[in-house]
Structure 1
Amino acid sequence: FDNQRAEHLAVREAAGLFDMTSFGKIRIEGRDACAFLNRIASAQMDVAEGRIIYTMFLNGRGGIEADLTVTRLSETAYLAVVPGATLHRCLAWMRGHVGDDFAVITDVTAAESVLCLMGPQSRDVLAKVSPNDFSNAAHPFGMAREIEIGMGLARAHRVTYVGELGWELYIPTDQTAHVFEAILHARPDLKLCGLHTLDSCRIEKAYRHWGHDITDEDHVLEAGLGFTVSRKKPAFNGRDAVLRKDEAGLDRKLLQFRLKDPEPLLFHNEAIVRDGKIVGPVTSGNYGHALGGAIGLGYVPARGQTDEDILGSTYEIEVAGKRHAAEVSLTPMHDPRSERVRA
C-alpha cells in the first residue's frame, strides 16, 4: 500500500512514467476514413490534423460499445487508441460497420510502444530529452506532435487518464528501450508507476472505466459523457437514442463517492445507500491517496430530480456489512476544472 501510495503521489506532485504499450492501436485510412468514423463515432471527426478526439461508439440504445481516443494523422488517416482488453471488440465493431465506405482498418498495436509521462513536472522532464517546444502555445492539450527524443523519434499525444499534465509517447518499438533509458538518465529519480496507480489516479478525476462504469448497457448521457456526442452531425450510430433521452430526461446519473472514514477500502459492487435505501452498486473503486479516502463511482436514480435533489441526499457505502458515510459529487473531486491537465 505504501509503495502504491508513493507512485500515486509522485504523479500528483512531481512526475511518473507508465508503460502503456498494451494499448490497442488501430489505423483507419482511405478516401472515406473521415466519413466512416463520423458515422460510427459520437464526436465530430472532421478535425484538424494532429487533433485528438475522445469519443464513443454507441449502439442503437445509446449504450457505449467502446470509449476511445482518435487522432487525425492526415487528411485520409486516423489512429484509434483503445484499451488492450477491448482491441478485438473494437476491431470487430469497426469492420462490421464499414459497409461500402472506402476505409482500411489495420491493427498496428505491435508497431509502437507507449510510455506515458504524467505529472506537474512532466514538461520539465521532456525538456531535458527533447529539443521540441512543449509549451501550451506550441503543444496544447488534445494535440499530437512528432518529436525528437534522445536519439529517437516519437509522436507525443497530450492527453491523460490520470488527471495531470502529461504526454503519451508513441515510440517505434525498436527505439523504445533507448527512449526509456534517455528519460531515466535525464531524471534518475523518476517514479516508475503501474496500472494500479493509473486506476487510483483516474478514479480521483472520475474518469470512467469501460467494463465497469460504462458498458453497452449504460446510456452515454446517464454516464455523464454527453460532451463526447455531437448533436450537430446529421447521422451517426446512436444519435436517435441520444435525442430521445435528451427529450425524455435521465433515469439515473453517475456519481463520484468519497468515504469520510479514511480506513475502509472500495473495490466495486459495494452497495450504495441513499437516504437509508440501497439504490445500486459501486461500479468501480480504488483508494484516492490525494483525496484522503476510498473513492467509488456508481449510478443513482435521477428521474424527475434536480442535481440539487440528488446531491442533497445522505449517502453511505456498505462495506462488509457496515455502512460508511460518503461525500458525493457530480463533478470530479480532483481538479474539477481540469486546470492541472491544461497547465
Structure 2
Amino acid sequence: MTTITTLFSKINDSQLGSDRVKSMASELARIIVFPLLGVLVFLLLWSVAAQNINTSLGKFPGPAAVVEQFGSLYDEHVREREKADAFYERQEKRNAARVAKDPDYVSKVRDYTGKETFLDQIVTSLVTVISGFLLAAIIAIPLGIAVGLSRPLNSAVNPIVQIFKPVSPLAWLPLVTMVVSAVYDTPDPAVPKSFLNSMITVTLCCLWPMVINTSVGVASIDSDLVNVSKVLRLPPLTHVRKIVLPASIPMIFTGMRLSFGVAWMVLIAAEMLAQNPGLGKFVWDEFQNGSSDSLSRIMAAVLVIGFIGFLLDRGMLQIQRYVSWDKASADR
C-alpha cells in the first residue's frame, strides 16, 4: 500500500513539474519569442517594401541603411563635441595669455555656437516634454481633486474643460508664441523663448486628460471609504492624503500616461511647425535638405521618437507600480 501511494505521489509530482515547465515555456514565448517574431516579420516586410518604393531622393531606406545612419549620426556628435572642446581650449589659452600680459583683464568665456547634433536634439526634446508635463501635473492634479470633491466646482469647471478639450494643442502654438514674445521680453533671457513656447504648448495638451481622469477617479471613490473618513472626522487635507489620493491613483496615472503620450506627439509636431530646437526640427531640416541620406536619417529619427515614447510610457507605469497600493491596476 505504501509503495502504491509513493508511486502516485511521484506521478503527481512529475505532472506538477511538467505543468510548471509548460507554464514557464508559455510565459517565455509570450515575453520573448512572439515579440521577437513580430519584430522580424516587420523588418522583413520593411525590407521588401523599401526595395519597391522609389522617391525623388532615391529608394526608400531599408533597415540596413537606417542602422548605418545611426552610426553616422553618432560620429557627427563625437566630431561636434571635439570641435567644442577645441574651441574652449583655444579660448582658455587666449584668456590665460591676456591675463599674463594684463593682470587686471577680466576674461570672458563665450559659449560654443556650433550646430546641435542628433543626440543634443534628443536631450532638448526630452527636457522640454518632461518640463511641460510636470508643470501640467502640478496644475491639473490638484484641480482635478478639487473638482472631484466639489460638485459646484465641477459644474463651474466642466464647461471650460469641454470647450477646450477638443482644441488641437497646435492651435495654441501661435497664441503661445505671441504671448511669450510680449511678456518674456528681455535682452538676455535665462531660458530660450523657443523652449518656453514648446513647453507651454506641451502643458496645454497635458492638462485636460489629467484633470478629467483625476476628477473622475476622485468622484468614484468607494462610499465606504468616504464614510470611514467621516466617522474618523479626518481633516480635509488628511482626508485627501489618506483616502482620496490612494483610492484614485489608478485613474490619476491613467490620465498621466495618456497625457505623456499625447505630449510627446504634440511636441514633435510643434518643433516641426515652429522650428524650435528638438527632434521635430531635425526631421524637418532633413526633409528640407533633400540629400541622398535624408530619408534614412528621417527614418532613424522616427524610430527614436517611437522608442522614446515607449520608454516614457513604461517609465510612468513603473512609477504607478511603485506608488499604487493596487499593483494589479498597473499591469496594463
Higher helix share: 2
Higher strand share: 1
Instruction: Answer yes or no: same fold by TM over 0.5.
Output: no
**TM bucket, shorter chain:** under 0.3
Query: What TM-score do you get using the length of structure 2 for normalisation?
Result: 0.23
Query: What TM-score do you get using the length of structure 1 for normalisation?
Result: 0.22
Larger radius of gyration: 2
